[in-house]
Amino acid sequence: MAWPYRLSRRFKSLSSTIRSRQLSVSTYPKHPEDSSTIEPRFVLHSAPDPKPSDHSPFLLFPKTHISTLPNGIRVATQTSPPHVQTTATVGVWIDAGSRFETPETNGTAHFLEHMIFKGTRRRTARGLEEEIENMGARLNAYTSREQTTFYANVLREDVPVAVDILADILQNSTFSEQAIRRERDVILREMEEVQGQTEEVIFDHLHSVAFRDSLLGNTILGPPENIRSISRNNLYQYISTHYTSPRMVVSAAGAVEHDEIVSLVERLFKDFSMDPTSAAELVDRSPAIFTGSEVRLENNDMPIAHWAIAFKGAAWADPNSIPIMVIQSLLGSWCRSIGVGNCSGSQLARRVGTLGLAESIMAFNTNYCDTGLFGIYATAMPDCLGDLSCVIMEELRRLAWQVSDAEVIRARNQLKSALLLHIDGTSAVAENNGRQLLTYGRIVPFQEYFTRIDAVDAATIKEMARDMLVGKIFLKLFGACNGN
């Protein structure tokens, strides 16, 4: 799905010259009411008011080369400059995750992630581990609601071996019954550990409530009864149905050559189905419908209450996704253990930190193929929940009517910095390119990305906030709520 070229009236046309702007990260917006709390040393080398400056010279990244093979697999490579060509990341990004399971098979994608390293027709599980360790490499995988990824970090000379291993485990895994029984126990223990991670539990509940009666509400791990019943046939069926060539991207970054990677993939990745059905078509058949509601799960044995409020967000390719990202940056995050409070650029963080209303707060924003989830997650003592929720709602309402240009400039700057910091290393670059090809159908240049971000002004934020607040919301409380 390509990034849309028609944006709302507040966005600049992509046909115009791209002129990105960047701000000094050391500057702070001026807040007259808080001027006494900002120490002079924080603004020693720059004025308190942010000033935009041209940052385009810093966005000159190595070119990304993309090829589409006859079977539909897309290959993307980004070669590092010669003086840093020592390691590489090669991986396979697949448009398949827990969203594409049925209620009866929910958990199969994650189960498959475990089983894929347990031996092939050419390599035993032990032989695979020894081969990886002898190269000094790392082989890893992760599963999300819409994507599954398998990747390897290797030295330059071992890139061909890494591609061969990835092709082998994805096409020739044996899935022995003994290994399946062993991994069942491993996953069930993992589920018990996850239940102890309250933040993970909260976000699973958020999805199940926000997207009730739709497949996007499925958990990634699946219910325990499914884990106990998933069979070898379920694993093979999932691969044959969803691990298809048109839904795959092989992404490589670092010490790699595009022609070599293309040749290896063309020779080794040849047994996948060429079914043209795309993930977007499957989503259209079963779209996620956002449902507003309020849910409270009380557990008075927990000393800390976990609180979240969520709104319907934006899909990956929705033009509104950029303003929502800026809003997330505006709201920011805060944690008592870090100690940054009244000096934070986020007014929400300053108020919460100064008044001591929470242990932590975090704005979150998750994008999917056809929708999204945006909101605030917080942990606090039960007797602070009332005041905390009032402050959060006041700040959300303020974004719709009173947000300043200085705040938006700071948020844009922080967002751009975060995007650049995210691609530090070959693994992050390969992940960024693979994910964007799946979600946008192309790789968005940072100059374009930053131009879209810089097009978001205070008026855009106010309009976007009003639109989001008018829609349905749902509230989730978990922990020692004490009936508040």
Residues 6 or more apart whose Cβ sits within 8 Å of residue 234: 105, 108, 111
Q: CA 9, CA 7: separation in Å to the nearest integer?
A: 7
Are the beta carbons of 442 and 436 closer than 8 angstroms?
A: yes
User: Catalytic residue among 101, 146, 183, 407, which?
Assistant: 183
Are the beta carbons of 434 and 249 closer than 8 angstroms?
A: yes
Are the beta carbons of 284 and 214 closer than 8 angstroms?
A: no
Are the beta carbons of 153 and 87 closer than 8 angstroms?
A: yes
Residues 6 or more apart whose Cβ sits within 8 Å of residue 47: 27
Backbone phi, psi, residue 295, to 5° = -135, 135
Which residue(s) pair with 142 in the sheet?
Answer: 149
113 part of the active site: yes
Q: Which 8-state DSSP code applies to residue 61?
A: P
**H-run or E-run covering 89:** strand 87-94
209-245 in b/e form (b: 16+ CB < 10 A) is bbbeebbbbbbbbbeeebbeebeeebbeebbeebbbb
What is the 3-state secondary structure of 322-381? HHHHHHHHHHCEEECCCCCCCCCCCHHHHHHHHHCCCCEEEEEEEECCCCEEEEEEEEEC
- Hey, is 50 helix, strand or coil? coil
End-to-end CA distance of the chain: 44
183 part of the active site: yes
> Using CA of residue 422, residue 424, residue 425, residue 426, what is the dihedral sign?
positive
Are the beta carbons of 111 and 227 closer than 8 angstroms?
A: yes
* Paired tokens of 273: 């189905």
Q: What share of the chain is helix, strand, coil (3-state, %, to 5)?
A: 45, 20, 35
User: Catalytic residue among 101, 113, 359, 431, which?
Assistant: 113
The distance of Cα 131 from the centroid of its chain, to the nearest Å, equals 31
Give the closest residue to 31 by CA, choosing from 351, 393, 465, 461: 351
> Which residues are catalytically annotated?
113, 183
